[in-house]
Each structure stands twice: as C-alpha cells, then as structure tokens.
Amino acid sequence: MSAVLFGALFITAAFALIAGGDESVPAAASQYIKYIDFNPTEQALSDALELDIAHHGENWAPGFSVSLAYLGAKWGGDFSHYKKSALVTLYDKLKSGTTLDSLTSGMKYFPYYVKAYGAVLDGMVGTYYTIAQNDDGTSTSVEKYGLKAFSPIASGYSYNHYNDFGASRSYGYRREHLGHDIMGNIGTPIIAVESGYVEACGWNMYGGWRIGIRSFDGRRYYYYAHMRKNHPYNDMYEGKIVTAGEVIGYIGMTGYSSRQNVNNISVPHLHIGMQLIFDKSQKDGYNQIWIDMYSLTKFLSHNRVKVYYDSDAKEYYPTQIIFDPAIND
C-alpha cells in the first residue's frame, strides 16, 4: 500500500470523527480530531517559515501552518518528495489573485489538515518582543515577527538524536515510544520550547523527574522527562507561567523506578513529547495523539537559546528573554 493511500485512509477516518460521522459513538463525543500523522520535513518547515516571514502582513498570504496544510491535503500527508517549488508556486498563485478557496475547492480534507497542522504549529510563529540596549544606557522594546519557539537544548551544548518515534519500550509494560529522545550530557540546560503553564511537575516512575507544560491555547502538552537527579528543575512548580526560551531544568538519567530520585536510565538524555489535545478526555484517556517530533526538533535547532551560569543561584538562565504576547492574552 502506498504512503499516500495509507495516509488517506487514516485521514478519512479522522475527518469523519471531526464531522460526527462515526455512528458507533455519541455525536458529542465524535466532534474532535482523534488521529494526526504529522510528516512535514525540516526543509518544508523552514521554507514555510521563510515565506511566511517574507509576506507577513499581506492579506493574500496563507501563513505558516496553512501553507503546509495545503501541501498536506494535496499529497495525503506524504512529504517524502517535497520541494520548495511547491510552496513557491502556492504563494505565486495567491499573489497573482487566485484565492485559497478556489485552489482547495476539490480538496475534501483541507479543513482537517488546517485544524491538525494548526494544532501543532500555530503557537510557534507570531509576534514577540525583545529588549534592545541603546547607546545612552536606556533600553527599547523591539517588536518582531517570526519563530518564537526554541530548541529544547541550549546553545553551545552538543547532542545527538535519530528518529525513534514508535520504537518499542518494555519497562512496566510493552508499548510504543511516543516521544523523541535527545542524547546529551548530564546537566545540559533544557529550554522551554513554547510559552505555557506548568501542568505537571514531579516524579513519574517512567519519566523520572519530569515537567508537563501546556500551551495557552490548550492544544499542546509538552512533556520533558528523565531530568537530573537531585537538581532536576530551575524553579519549576505546578501552575507556574513559563516563557518560551526559559531554562526549565537539566538533562539527567532518572526514571524507570517507583522510588524517587533514582538513575535507572542507562544513557543521559531528554525525552521530549508533544501531545495534541482537542478534547479534555484525550489527555489521559483513549485517543491520545502524540506527534513525531524528529523533524520539528531539527527545525527548532536553528533557534537555540544562549545561556549563562549564575554562581549565586547555581542555575542557568537565558542571556536574552523574549516577551510573548500569548502570556498576556
């Protein structure tokens, strides 16, 4: 079976759930997405961001996630043969006056891809503010538009990774690996990918010392696990508001133990996962949606945070913070 056909079959089922087409469950329970296969490549993400920034503010421009959703709907989610020319052609047609509605009129699953890809990406790009120092010693707030999500590994720290999503895990029970492992050194600062609030913080027998951060729109739940023994966090607690780019903790080897603060992981690494939540029942119940973050991690590696060590606090902090309007909203 081809990748496009395989993807289309899943999309058909998922879209039916959005539309309430699953007659085996009550209508109210079938009005949200229950499956997403997110496959845009690092290059596709980078090109979509470049075009979005270049045409930001122009009414005809589709935007970051919508441009990728167009290709997803066109190709059945298969980006294996992606070329930048596909996005450039889309932008050229729209700039010349062709409407997005006319381009997608025959794409039955375009609304599904808009909602699905938007759930993954919409919090990563937008307006944010930085502080610029003036020659007279004063500072000025500078408005910017672009990528406001960051690599989970601080700048200057080496790491390695490969696509391990879906690999087998056996501790506790046999299951799939629904995250992405980034191998690094113990103590490497871990960065908040996106702004949000701490929903979970503490020990978990599988993830060791871990943090769960929910995006402000409620759709993304970032799970950071296996953090450092004895000193896993940088002032983290449930309910805390976290800004993208903030140091939230440090790589370790904790987990795979019912006892707290135990190093039972053989290789130091950060396990990071992104769960999409369209209905509150998905958080801990059936129909959980976890995204393959390998391409996203490679994409975000171009936006890494520089940090410094505060010897008094014995913590690492970013050298420059962003001010994210999502926090005020």
Q: Where in the chain are the domains?
A: 3-122, 168-328
Mean pLDDT of the chain: 89
Give the pLDDT confidence score for residue 149 in this predicted structure. 98
285-322, pLDDT tens digit by residue?
A: 878 999 999 999 999 999 999 999 999 999 999 999 99
Q: Angle 200-120-53 (CA atoms, 0-180°, nearest 5)?
A: 125
Band (28; pLDDT cuts 50, 70, 90): very low
Give the pLDDT confidence score for residue 217 in this predicted structure. 95
Q: Is the pTM of this model over 0.95?
A: no
Distance CA 233, CA 228 (A): 8
Alpha helices by DSSP H, listed for the chain, are: 3-18, 42-54, 64-75, 84-95, 100-103, 110-121, 294-300, 325-328
Out of 3.20.20.140, 3.30.360.10, 3.40.50.970, 2.70.70.10, select the CATH number for domain 168-328: 2.70.70.10
Give the pLDDT confidence score for residue 54 in this predicted structure. 98
Alpha helices by DSSP H, listed for 19-99, are: 42-54, 64-75, 84-95
Nearest CA to 318 out of 241, 247, 240 is that of 247
Q: In the chain, count of helices (H) and strands (E)?
A: 8, 15
Distance CA 277, CA 296 (A): 18
Give the pLDDT confidence score for residue 177 in this predicted structure. 67
Average pLDDT over residues 200-226: 96
Residue 316 DSSP label: E
Give the pLDDT confidence score for residue 179 in this predicted structure. 86
Band (329; pLDDT cuts 50, 70, 90): confident
Band (168; pLDDT cuts 50, 70, 90): low
58-106, pLDDT tens digit by residue?
A: 999 999 999 999 999 999 999 999 999 999 999 999 999 999 999 999 9
